[in-house]
Structure 1
Amino acid sequence: MLRLRLLTWDVKETLLRLRQPPGLSYAAEARAHGVRVEPEVLNRAFQEVYRDQSRLFPNYGQGRGLSSQQWWLDVVTQTFRRAGVREERILTPVAEKLYRDFCSARNWEELPGARETLRLCSQRGFRMGVVSNFDNRLENILTQCHLRQHFEFVLTSEAVGFAKPDRRIFERALRLGGVSPEQAAHIGDDYSRDYRAARAVGMHSFLLRAPGQGEEPEVPPEHILPTLGHLLALIEKG
């Protein structure tokens, strides 16, 4: 059995996921302002704009004079423009409304087993924290989704100033938890930003990977979580 004292958690696609693709939410808000645009077109535009914005202004514009709110407002307005929306008058109010909406539980849902797994981990006496490449809305999202009470700390890349896979965000978590790396494990869904990055600082880690979702040759089967419900059994086996 692994002698773990601290579990750190990724959030998006590990504990929480969007209830629907962004394009559907964007299209509904545009419709409320009298503008019709296809969700599929908005989805493609969003993916392109998000990728470009992340490359040009990494970690929500940290060090580049942007707040995360302005970063997201730019993403939304550019998404609509790339999708062919010409009604400039609606872009700012739509973007501001969507920014607020994505801070609430109405746009997020738990992954299967998330709440129960966190509850059982707390019962076993594990200390827990969040390590996430997210902006500062995350505290509120976790509170609204009734998960915040499980965590001693929530580290977002915006607040810390470093994004995974940067080792410094994991080192900050270890300091907050007051444990050595071998006493901690990280759980996440991304091979390089979660699994490999945590192991690079000496932590244990588990990769949430549903069957058929692709395989990483360097990940032993005992580090793969087909579902969150498998976590405690793997810890006890380890």
Structure 2
Amino acid sequence: MSLLSKLRCITVDVTGTLLAYKGELGDYYCMAAKAVGLPCPDYKRMHEGFKTAYANMAKLYPCFGHAANMPNIDWWRTCVKDSFIKAGYDYDDETFEKVFRRIYSTFGSSAPYSVFPDSQPFMRWARKNGLIVGVVSNAEYRYQDVILPALGLNKGSEWDFGVFSGLVGVEKPDPKIYEIALEMAGNIAPEEVLHVGDSLRKDYLPARSVGMNALLLDRFKTPDAENWRQSGATVFPDLVAVQDWLTKADQILAGQQAQ
């Protein structure tokens, strides 16, 4: 009996699993600044400024301001403004708004992202084989409504439901986000679900804690992968390998190895 016959649902992470960022953050901030006649900000300072600003906003207003009823655009406006300030660029309000609108628009489109070539085929294969496919991501609503569809990953053809932190108000590694996924899949048993992600802390461990099966992708040959294996996780290089593994007979589900 193959693993496929034991499952009713597969859930997948987004960034690092289905898609990746193209280029560097500084590329897009530079293009936005130059578009309004400003010099290109320093890439390194901009990257560090963004990391700090994003961490602060995520702490103050988690899930993109969900609990505070903060509009998504306002959350990002504050985050981007603080990113520039921490990088040493304090523009006047009118100039900043012009820069920000370009950045916000860019990251709400397909432009900064590339889909891994095996993502769409894997999701379609899973659905063709009768599995419910869900997306579980620490992402804002535009991933569901704009970004994934613009990248050719559409609800109804590649996935059936999405659990996005900005919409449900819960984010990884909180196990509740996986409990929500189980509910949205039709309240199916966790042992009938396999989660695929790229983070031991955010994907594998919390999914396992609610009884789901889980495995990890190591698309970028990260040194952390060895630690993942030592922690009991099954690790694959891509979704092609996952598909092959799922169709082989007499396998043991990844999550069940830790039971």
Name the counterpart of 1:231: 242
Unaligned 5+ segments in structure 1 are none
Equivalent residue in structure 1 for 2:122, among 114, 117, 135? 117
- Deviation for aligned residue 1:95: 1.2
Q: Deviations over 1:95-115 (max 9, x none)?
A: 122112111111111124222
TM-score if structure 1 supplies the norm length? 0.92
TM-score if structure 2 supplies the norm length? 0.85
Equivalent residue in structure 2 for 1:42, among 46, 68, 75? 46
Equivalent residue in structure 1 for 2:132, among 109, 127, 134? 127
Deviates more, 1:130-139 or 1:224-233: 224-233
Unaligned 5+ segments in structure 2 are 253-259
1:15-34 correspondence runs (5 A): 15-34=18-37
- Tell me the percent identity: 30
Equivalent residue in structure 2 for 1:91, among 87, 90, 96? 96
Q: Deviations over 1:71-92 (max 9, x none)?
A: 1111111111222223323112
Aligned pair count?
Answer: 236
One-letter code aligned to 1:87: Y
1:167-182 correspondence runs (5 A): 167-178=175-186, 179-182=188-191
Equivalent residue in structure 1 for 2:150, among 128, 144, 150? 144
Post-superposition, which runs of at least 4 consecutive aligned residues in structure 1 deviate over 4 A?
Answer: none
**Partner Cα separation in structure 2 for residue 158 and residue 86 of structure 1:** 28
Name the counterpart of 2:174: 166
Name the counterpart of 1:78: 82
RMSD: 1.6
**Partner Cα separation in structure 2 for residue 72 and residue 187 of structure 1:** 28
One-letter code aligned to 1:79: S
Name the counterpart of 1:11: 14
